[in-house]
């Protein structure tokens, strides 16, 4: 495929990367990550590969992206994080992965009996 501009190439590459995440294509995603694409690239709706993998329930893709330091706190244009999407679609295993890899999140599951007092 011939690209008209460098921007066309980048747009196509980002689209392929996000498509791999959405489909659960671990091999394709890993190749692109090893080739240097940022795990935090976003589409026009500010959704990242982590958003898409969390939404679709692809735990192995989430693990791979976390290994490459994907930002778990990036918000899309609807102000949702990957954790918000995982909760919305009922992917508990992915919620746990994202919570464990995010020091800013307090898990409602593990802290349900914990009371925190601030003096």
Domain range holding 63? 6-100
**Into how many domains does the chain fold?**
1
> For all residues of the chain together, what is the average pLDDT?
86
Q: Look-up: residue for tokens 């995603």?
A: 29
Q: Which residue has the higher pLDDT, 110 or 103?
A: 103
Query: Helix 59-67 to helix 26-34 angle, to the nearest 10 degrees?
Result: 10
Q: Is residue 110 part of a domain?
A: no
Give the C-alpha separation, 97 to 21, whole Å. 16
Give the C-alpha separation, 114 to 119, whole Å. 16
User: pLDDT tens, 40-85?
Assistant: 999 999 999 999 999 999 999 999 999 999 999 999 999 999 999 9
Asked if the model's pLDDT at residue 107 lies above 60, the reply is no
What pLDDT does 31 receive? 98
Is-contact 59 93, C-beta < 8 A? Answer: yes
Share of the chain above pLDDT 70, in %: 78
Retrieve residue 98's tokens: 């994202």
What pLDDT does 8 receive? 66
| Other Cβ atoms closer than 10 A to 33 | 19
CATH of the domain at 59: 1.25.40.20
Q: Is residue 111 part of a domain?
A: no
What pLDDT does 105 receive? 58
Q: Is residue 46 part of a domain?
A: yes
Q: Is residue 85 part of a domain?
A: yes
């Amino acid at each position: 495929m011939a690209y008209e501009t460098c921007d066309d190439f980048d747009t196509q590459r980002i689209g392929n990367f996000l498509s791999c995440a959405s489909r659960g294509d671990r091999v394709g995603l890993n190749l692109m990550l090893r080739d240097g694409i940022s795990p935090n690239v976003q589409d026009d709706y500010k959704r990242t590969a982590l958003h898409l993998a969390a939404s679709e329930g692809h735990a192995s893709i989430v693990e791979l992206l976390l290994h490459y330091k994907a930002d778990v706190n990036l918000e899309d244009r609807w102000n949702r994080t990957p954790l918000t999407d995982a909760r919305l679609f009922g992917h508990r295993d992915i919620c746990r992965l994202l919570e464990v890899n995010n020091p800013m999140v307090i898990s409602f599951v593990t802290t349900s009996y914990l009371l925190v007092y601030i003096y």
